[in-house]
Amino acid sequence: MDFSRRAMLGAMGGLAVGGSLAAMSGNVIAAPAAPEMTGGKDGLFDQQYGLFGWKPKKIDDIPGAMEVAYKGYWYKGLGCGYGAFYSIVGLMGKKYGAPYNTFPYSMMEVFKGGMADWGTICGALAGAASAFFVFYGRKEANPMVAELFRWYEKTAFPIYNPGEAAQGVKGELSTSISNSVLCHISVSRWSYETKLAANSKERSERCGRITADVCKKAIEILNAKIEAGKDWKGALAKQESVTQCGACHSKGKMSDIVKGNMDCAPCHSGSDHVQNKFVNHP
């Protein structure tokens, strides 16, 4: 349902006038029916608008969305997942109203710190991927996620600079390439290369800026998907390490023990930094 603020106010005004006229004439006007509940055959999994029933809308003001993503990261400390998700679905809610503005956005705080401080998936990526899945099932959303995640693995972050609006520290920040979508590796590699603590203000500022960077790329992917529909395909090829390792270890191969598409090298390169650390740690 596409309701702008003006349309919603107009509809509300119409209902008010209609209600007054009905009262004068003695007629009763029924309230508009709620969206049909569809989904499960037995009603167990029914939901309004059906499965993946929300229709995505293009976001034209990407710089404005990036600013929202950055501010969202800092808003009440809700973090990167909240900022990335809100900069997509939340902005649709601001512009179009229901149903987009009915989402409990604060639940995205779960992605802060790589999922409740577990350092797993980068929260900005998780928030953006969640936004894709609001609108599309896995067959269409998985390629979108793959494009976003592969881009993240090979990009030097942060790129975005909020200038005087910075809420952590101002000025340029040193960058690093994580080669991983994991918060633990992304932050640790940056901290190691910059000699700045993982709990520093600079690191918090870095993650706020990365939230804006991820927002930009995610919206570019979403806009392209909306334009191309089912014909959309990502441009980034599978990582070399995944292709090489998958020759033996992926589904249906001689040693079928691997699941996933992350770059294998950061954890399985054979270097001293990732070997034997629990036995002979220096």
Residue 264 lies in a domain: no
In the chain, the percentage of residues whose pLDDT exceeds 90 is 65
Range in 114-118, 137-141, 178-182, 255-259 the model is least confident about: 255-259
Query: Residue 258: its pLDDT value, please?
Result: 79
**Omega within 30 of 0 (cis) for the link into 99:** yes
| pLDDT class of 98 with cuts at 50, 70, 90 | very high
Residue 166 lies in a domain: yes
Residue 153 lies in a domain: yes
Say if residue 276's pLDDT is above 70: no
What's the average model confidence in pLDDT over 125-137?
98
Residue 14 lies in a domain: no
Residue 147 lies in a domain: yes
Residue 191 lies in a domain: yes
Pairing of strands 156-157, 176-177: antiparallel
CB 55 within 8 A of CB 100: no
| pLDDT class of 12 with cuts at 50, 70, 90 | very low
Cβ partners under 8 Å of residue 238, min gap 6: 150, 261
Cβ partners under 8 Å of residue 200, min gap 6: 191
Check residues 251 and 164 and name the one with the higher pLDDT: 164
Q: How many structural domains are present in the chain? A: 1
Say if residue 20's pLDDT is above 50: no
Query: Residue 279: its pLDDT value, please?
Result: 62
Range in 2-6, 69-73, 107-111, 198-202 the model is least confident about: 2-6
Query: Residue 232: its pLDDT value, please?
Result: 95
| pLDDT class of 240 with cuts at 50, 70, 90 | confident
| pLDDT class of 260 with cuts at 50, 70, 90 | confident
Segments forming the whole domain that contains residue 194? 62-236
Residue 192 lies in a domain: yes
Q: pLDDT (tens digit, 9 = 90+) per residue, 141-159?
A: 999 999 999 999 999 999 9
Residue 170 lies in a domain: yes
Instruction: Specify the pTM.
Output: 0.81
Q: What is the mean pLDDT of the chain?
A: 85
What's the average model confidence in pLDDT over 4-14?
41
